[in-house]
Chain A
């Protein structure tokens, strides 16, 4: 911004004008994206006694509970895959999605101080929150790696597709987070609804079990939850042929997430110019 790049730039502010410079501004403020994400990560564990160890404990404890409930009590079959691995491989994208969505939905309200006092492309706020979620994800991935070594489970070439499903999980959180976040600016009710939705989501997504146990005739309906395709795909990239993928679910997930993200950006851009009036 301080280089001479914008020496003769002209900014026009007008009602309803979709600024041509918006995307350029977004690029210009990319460093802010980094600093905001960094702030979120650092602050999350700074005041905690065991600090970043929580990033390890959270997925591990959840994995133990889910394994206990679904495998030990409900006796749901997992084929050749050890149940803890099955659960953790599904938990990884789910926790990334859940954490990012919860944080994104409340991110604008949480940053109201910034939004009412200074200009920057508001898209940076949900973006930075989603990126900050990656730090926890990386730690969980290491936990999974150790667990897989323990069980002597090696990922196949499918693992090369992992980034694809990672991006899908991020976009799913980002797209729905844009909707919820922008709505929460005007209707705080949203901040109460999202945790409930996520609670339900854990059970209607194949986290604690494999989607293969869902009867065939309900599979399509079930796959309308975009996280089904993402989680199943994720599991497949890590566990290979043991967790045969359902291509229809993955395709459906990709399309749904695409629509969610694009419409989310559209709604966000439409409302962001007046965030400061409502927040």
Chain B
């Protein structure tokens, strides 16, 4: 038996992006004349440089090779535009590669979205059969699984109601229920977990785990890194259309997250700043309880985050608001603290100075936390910045004695440490 069920060799996919460089037509007559000329040129295949839009070649994927063995669950991660969707489209035969080849062993089902082909005028029952057929299920199989699907979706009462009267939750549940009953050898899934409420999402993840447990091969593309960590065993990192890393899922996540961290660039040289620049944070310093400059802080101890800035005469005279946003390693927001919350008035800014945020007891379990800062002329919903850097620095937290007992929750159970106590009362 062949060991690998998916084998991709030197895959490439090229797109041509058209640039419309001409000015917009001024009149209807002009538009029609130009349209006619374009049509004629296109149909006759004439390459008239004046009328032809210029094309730019763009490789969405380039030289991608990898193998997936039977029963493996592979997570594909990467930033937006890395080529994840293109890769899925090639694997699911929606479009053909420009170069290279893919060999697939066994029955494939791909879920680039759930509920593909659902029609609002048709009833739930009719849609189950239609959607099932689109996913490649035979009608006899759907009939056999029908009750299970309805049960999973929990829509029994609305089975003969047109889909357009469904709530979005019901719609999503029905869509996933059909998809969840696919039984292919290779399952290709794209972000479908982003539907429904949290409870339903857990149900879906559980289903994925089950599918994987049955020895099927699963390819899973997601931005939900937590899901990738728990469901997948292997990870493939894509970047700019190429494979950057291929290994276990934990290594892949590490690799991916490191790539997102700011490289060792001095804050002053960062080019990804936002804002008008009237105030610029030039360096950031961490200090411990004793006022010493440190590289990391400890859980439960006091810490200071110091944002050294330089201000120009254009700096707003109104109340400046400074905020810090602490995120998890998987980019989940944990804390936001703004000077507005404590109604701190900084007053007129000196030319050079330092905003100091004091944290009396660091409430985070040991780990590394990307921190984003923002300096705003006022507090509002509109994002107006004097200065802003996403992931400006990484806050490293080490083990500390929060409760005076040396105990801390494990990082698999908690990110934050709660200042709370237990007691017993007789009732």
Within A220-258, the residues touching B (CB, 8 Å) are none
User: Chain A interface mostly helix, strand, loop or mixed?
Assistant: mixed
Q: Given A15-B99, A277-B95, are A9 and B130 neighbors across the interface (CB < 8 Å)?
A: no
Q: Are B96 and A9 touching (Cβ within 8 A)?
A: no
The verdict on A72 contacting chain B, using a C-beta distance below 8 Å, is: no
In the complex, A209 Cα to B110 Cα: how many Å?
53
Chain A residues in 8 Å Cβ range of B106: 6-9
The verdict on B348 contacting chain A, using a C-beta distance below 8 Å, is: no
In the complex, A116 Cα to B103 Cα: how many Å?
21
Chain A residues in 8 Å Cβ range of B135: 118
Q: Are A277 and B15 touching (Cβ within 8 A)?
A: yes
Q: Are A119 and B121 touching (Cβ within 8 A)?
A: no
**Which of B97, B121, B133, B138 meets A47, CB within 8 Å?**
B121
Q: Are A32 and B93 touching (Cβ within 8 A)?
A: no
Interface size on A, residues (CB 8 A): 43
The verdict on A53 contacting chain B, using a C-beta distance below 8 Å, is: no
Chain A residues in 8 Å Cβ range of B136: 1, 28-29, 32, 120
The verdict on A197 contacting chain B, using a C-beta distance below 8 Å, is: no
**Which of A2, A12, A35 meets B103, CB within 8 Å?**
A12
Q: Given A15-B97, A43-B119, A119-B93, are A189 and B39 neighbors across the interface (CB < 8 Å)?
A: yes
Q: Are A35 and B130 touching (Cβ within 8 A)?
A: yes
Within A1-60, the residues touching B (CB, 8 Å) are 1-3, 6-17, 28-29, 31-32, 34-36, 38-39, 42-43, 46-47
Q: Are B138 and A1 touching (Cβ within 8 A)?
A: yes
> Please, what's the 1-or-0 string for B32-52, where 1 marks a CB less than 8 Å from any CB in chain A?
000000010010000000000
Chain A residues in 8 Å Cβ range of B329: none
The verdict on A202 contacting chain B, using a C-beta distance below 8 Å, is: no
Chain A residues in 8 Å Cβ range of B133: 29, 31-32, 34-36
In the complex, A246 Cα to B379 Cα: how many Å?
84
The verdict on B139 contacting chain A, using a C-beta distance below 8 Å, is: yes
Within B61-106, the residues touching A (CB, 8 Å) are 89-106
In the complex, A11 Cα to B109 Cα: how many Å?
13
The verdict on A274 contacting chain B, using a C-beta distance below 8 Å, is: yes
The verdict on B396 contacting chain A, using a C-beta distance below 8 Å, is: no
In the complex, A35 Cα to B89 Cα: how many Å?
24
Q: Are A276 and B89 touching (Cβ within 8 A)?
A: yes
Within A166-205, the residues touching B (CB, 8 Å) are 187, 189
The verdict on B129 contacting chain A, using a C-beta distance below 8 Å, is: yes
The verdict on A273 contacting chain B, using a C-beta distance below 8 Å, is: yes
Q: Are B108 and A114 touching (Cβ within 8 A)?
A: no
Known: A2-B138, A35-B129, A277-B15. 15 other contacts (CB 8 A): A1-B107, A2-B183, A10-B104, A13-B90, A14-B100, A32-B133, A38-B130, A39-B122, A39-B126, A46-B121, A115-B94, A117-B113, A119-B92, A274-B95, A276-B89
Residues of B within 8 A of A (CB): 15, 39, 42, 89-108, 110, 112-113, 116-117, 119, 121-122, 126, 129-130, 133-139, 141, 162, 183
14 A–B pairs (Cβ distance < 8 Å), ordered by A: A1-B107, A1-B136, A3-B138, A7-B106, A11-B103, A12-B102, A15-B97, A17-B96, A31-B139, A43-B122, A116-B94, A118-B135, A119-B110, A273-B95
